[in-house]
Structure 1
Amino acid sequence: MIRQFLLCAATALALAAPAAAQDFAITNATVATGDGSEPMENATVVVRNGRIVAASAGASAPAGMQVIDGAGKWVTPGIFSAVTNLGLSDVAAVSDSNDEAASGSPFSAALDVAPAINPTSQPLIVARADGITRASIAPRPASGIFGGQGAVIDLGADPEPITRARAFQVVALGEYGARLAGGGRTGTYAWLDNALREAIAYAAGRWQGEDAMLTRADAKALGPVVSGEQALYVEVERASDILQVLKLTRDFPRLDLVLLGVSEGWLVASDIAAAGVPVIADPLDDLPSGFDQLASTQSNIGRMRDAGVTVAIGRMAGGTGEQPRNARQYAGNLVALTRIPGANGLSWGQALATITSVPAQIAGFGGQLGTLSAGARADIVIWDSDPLEVGSAAEAVFIDGVRQPVDNHQSRLRDRYRDLDESDLPKAYDW
């Protein structure tokens, strides 16, 4: 029995061991580097030791290197899903399987999603099969306006998904934050201001626990935020709220702000650009779903980018957070907007960048992820056609130069039932 257990354990460790990065070249493909430039025809991508060596048109593969013929295919960086819940829930409506929020917890800012992320979660595996290679995983504020500390992960088929733990802190303002803070925006701003000041006091050794609103753990967790070592992701929609958030840097000049949602961002785009604050916007906000989104328009992202704002697609609520595979379709919608009179969209290259290099840059991985530039980590997807078209599919997914499995529960169900005839159906089927 002991020998059998040891053999099983050894087998499990062997299966869990990460595969070695491959050296290979993809040739004859349509290649988009993810940096905002337009796709290149008949191009080659070269990978060594898990890193991009080159991506250029007309080049050939180095002698002796494994070659993947990309004729008729498209090659892009892996999709970087900005602000999602992948790995935190299997069935969102089943509370026992959902770790997105901890509404009954005595902690808020101190909550850390990294230990809760499940790399074998089916939604995560399905997302990998659709070309998502990295993601910023964000907790949802519930026990207070702070949600806790998010993490950046890779979606590889190994037991260690964390690329960077405690990568950012999440706070909710606007209507949602007001509900959490006692029913009004006044409570939200007072709570936020007090929390940041208590964090400064804690870091300076002047924090008095008996007189503080924050727990010791929360005050400690906010220390990297007030020092600028950890980004503060602020969920905010209304133009006036956006301006108030930008003013936070007057009292807390080291804050590294990122705005989430930003439905009315186009109204104050010049202010956001002047402040140098990046945005992760919800591309679906073309009609208001609340009073802080009355000026919603699908031209929001295009208008902000025209004003000089750094914009990525993503957000926890709605289709990009809960269904991050939809991000490609939404990026394609932004391209289509350029053909509608009076609308503001993006070029194809700019749209791809909103789901590859820009979210990677916002997450602190500029030049290293979300791009096919030399030296970047080799997160690569080979597509059967234009990846911003609805009908396209990923044919091969690489993370750090390692080809990933793309089978999942959905694909196995498809394969099981696609070619069945009636004699193969369960006997209870005709009940």
Structure 2
Amino acid sequence: MKRIGMIAASMLAFACAPLSAQDFAVTNATVALGDGSEPIEGGTVVVREGRVVAAGSDVAIPTGVTAIDAGGGWVTPGLFATVTTLGLWDVGAVDESNDTRANDAPFSAALDAAPVVNPNSQHILIHRAAGITRAATTTLPSGSIFAGQGAIIDLDSDDRPVVEPRAFQMVTLGEQSARIAGGSRVAAHTLIRNALREAGSYGDAAQIPGMSSRARETRTGDEVRIDPRLSGRETERAGDVLLTRFDAAALVPVVRGEQQLYVAVDRAIDIRSALALKEEFPRLDLVLVGAAEGWLVADEIAAAGVPVIAEALTDLPERFEQLAATQSNVGRMMRAGVQVAIAASSGENPRNIPQAAGNLVALSRVPGADGLRWGEAFAAISSVPAAISGYEGEAGVLAPGATGDVVIWDGDPLEVGSVPVRVFIGGVEQPLDNHQSRLKERYRDLDETDLPKAYDR
């Protein structure tokens, strides 16, 4: 699904081959294309100038391309983790290193994750070593039901991880929203409708005859400058508005369908209420996040054409809004025709998404349960989240023209014991070391006599 408001400059940056991209071919491998098809044994993947040029069986290796023998291992596209907090925190319990929430901020929808994504975060390094090459990262709802604007990032080893800033807006409409908005879901739904109406009015006031939306603003990197002809109009707002001008401006692309609205919601009736927003605001580009009871209203979600980012391992009700939770949720929604991507529980450890996908493959063997085929499960952590994020055919798939994100595994990537042995992002091989790997090597064969004196009893 290509988003209408895709930023051209971001797409160009995503597509351009890095200067140090390698030309290589991975041979003698079990190849998973990431498109939902089943793995291909004895396959080959060819990458040139940072792009995939061929993948599958009976693939010829061009002259001058370095051949890498996988030795019967597995080769897949890089994983695409979605709804994460990657790059936004170091130590969760230390406020000074945690930028995932802004409880006391005067802003809500205008909060922008992109400027603070830290490419040197150990979480980025650890997840890159786990085979994740692209991610959607966002702040979390705290002081408002609106969490702010998330970004699409890559996990390359360079110092510019943000591929697309302000890619989507995050909002919660479940139990959490009731607490934040004033004590009930009634307040939360009133708040979101008021916010979207304010944004619509703000956007209409900013219209100048003959001026396109692109002409109204100029982008320089992450900075947005509004045309000076709008400065007077921007101040002409009703006296009963609740949003700051900055928050209202941030929601204008959402109301116009130029920026996706990720709605965190679990209960079936809350899902219906979220879908009903499209009746009042028909341009909304909705994505449901969580949807623990989505299987109960799967036909309605499919009919609305709204994709879902679900937690695959939610099988017991942790909250009242999850009373109908089941691990069959993802499978049942897919059978109803819903486009479903798999996210990690709470978004903090997306490196566990292969395990979640693998569980759904195993679930297909349980009588009465609804699991997934291997190809479906792997697509749910690769090409499907990429497509939901607006990068269909660009990421999460080994197909001609796709970016050269390639992971070589020592075994089936959906098996718990399998790990990546080599990772390429945009055709560039990435370092896999991090604090965890260095600690493992340091203490793997440590003799007790080597322990510091503090351990001497």
Q: TM-score, normalised by structure 1?
A: 0.94
**Counterpart mapping for 1:104-183 below 5 A:** 104-183=104-183
The alignment status of 1:260 with 2:289, answered yes or no, reads yes
What is the SS of the residue equivalent to 1:222?
Answer: helix
Where does residue 423 of structure 1 map in the other structure? Answer: 449
- For residues 290-329 of structure 1, give each alpha carbon's deviation from its aligned partner in whole angstroms, at most 9, with x where no partner exists: 11111000000000000000000115x53xx111111000
**1:393 match:** 419
Q: Which residue of 2 aligns with 1:355?
A: 381
Which of 371, 379, 400 matches 1:374?
400
What secondary structure is seen at the aligned counterpart in 2 of 1:246? helix
Do the aligned residues in 2 keep the contact of 1:73 with 1:382 (CA within 8 Å)?
A: yes
**By how many angstroms is 1:116 displaced?**
1.1
Aligned to 1:342: 368
Q: Which amino acid aligns with 1:357?
A: S
Following TM superposition, by how much is the alpha carbon of 1:209 offset from its aligned partner in structure 2, in angstroms?
5.6
Q: CA deviation at 1:95?
A: 1.2
1:422 & 1:341 partners in 2: Cα distance? 50
The residue identity in structure 2 corresponding to 1:428 is A
Q: Measure the CA separation in 2 of the matches of 1:248 and 1:323.
A: 31
Deviation at 1:201, TM superposition (A): 0.6
Give the equivalent residue in structure 2 for 1:95: 95
Quote how far apart the aligned CAs of 1:425 are. 1.8
SS at match of 1:343: coil
- For residue 288 of structure 2, what is the amino acid of its counterpart? L
Q: Over the residues paired in the alignment, what is the CA RMSD in angstroms?
A: 1.1
Tell me if the contact between 1:338 and 1:345 (Cα under 8 Å) persists in the aligned partners: yes
Question: How far did residue 197 of structure 1 move?
Answer: 0.3
Once the two structures are TM-superposed, the CA of residue 19 in structure 1 deviates from its matched residue by 5.8
Quote the sequence identity (%): 61
SS at match of 1:377: coil
- Write the distance in 2 (CA, Å) between the matches of 1:288 and 1:331: 20
Q: Which position in structure 1 is the counterpart of 2:261?
A: 232
Residues 224-272 of structure 1: CA distance to partner in whole angstroms, max 9, x if unpaired? Answer: 0000010000000010111111111111010000000000000000000
**Post-superposition shift, 1:72?**
1.5
Cα distance in structure 2, aligned partners of 1:170 and 1:59: 42
Pairing partner for 2:328 from 296, 299, 309: 299
Q: Which residue of the other structure, out of 304, 310, 316, is the alignment partner of 1:281?
A: 310
What corresponds to 1:27 in structure 2?
27
Aligned equivalents of 1:26 and 1:285: distance in 2? 36
Asked if structure 2 preserves the Cα contact closer than 8 Å seen for 1:146 and 1:170, the reply is: yes
Please give the alpha-carbon distance, in whole angstroms, between the structure 2 residues aligned to 1:101 and 1:40.
43
Note the C-alpha offset of 1:75.
0.3
Contact 1:260 1:279 in 2 (8 A): yes
Question: Residues 337-379 of structure 1: CA distance to partner in whole angstroms, max 9, x if unpaired?
Answer: 1100000000000000000000000000000000001100011
Please state whether the residue corresponding to 2:135 is helix, strand or coil. strand
Rounded to whole Å, the distance in 2 between the matches of 1:60 and 1:161 is 33
Conservation of the 8 A alpha-carbon contact between 1:46 and 1:54: yes
Deviates more, 1:162-171 or 1:283-292: 283-292
Q: Name the CA distance, whole Å, in 1 between partners of 2:128 and 2:399.
A: 22
Aligned length: 411
Secondary structure of the 2:156 match is coil
CA–CA distance in structure 2, aligned partners of residues 195 and 185 of structure 1: 15
Unaligned runs of 5+ in 1: 1-17
- Residue aligning to 2:356: 330
**Cα contact 1:27–1:61 (8 A) shared by 2:** no
Q: Which moved more, 1:18-27 or 1:409-418?
A: 18-27
Q: Which moved more, 1:295-304 or 1:136-145?
A: 136-145
Contact 1:261–1:282, Cα closer than 8 Å, also in 2? yes
Distance 1:299 1:388 in 2: 18
- The CA distance in 1 between the partners of 2:182 and 2:433, in whole Å, is 46
TM-score (normalised: structure 2): 0.89
Q: Distance in 2 between matches of 1:423 and 1:139?
A: 46
CA distance in 1, matches of 2:27, 2:61: 7
SS at match of 1:204: helix
2-structure distance, mates of 1:323, 1:108? 25
Q: In structure 2, list runs of 5 or more residues that go unmatched.
A: 1-17, 207-235
AA matched with 2:56? S
What secondary structure is seen at the aligned counterpart in 1 of 2:275? helix
Q: Is the 8 A contact 2:42 2:72 kept in 1?
A: no
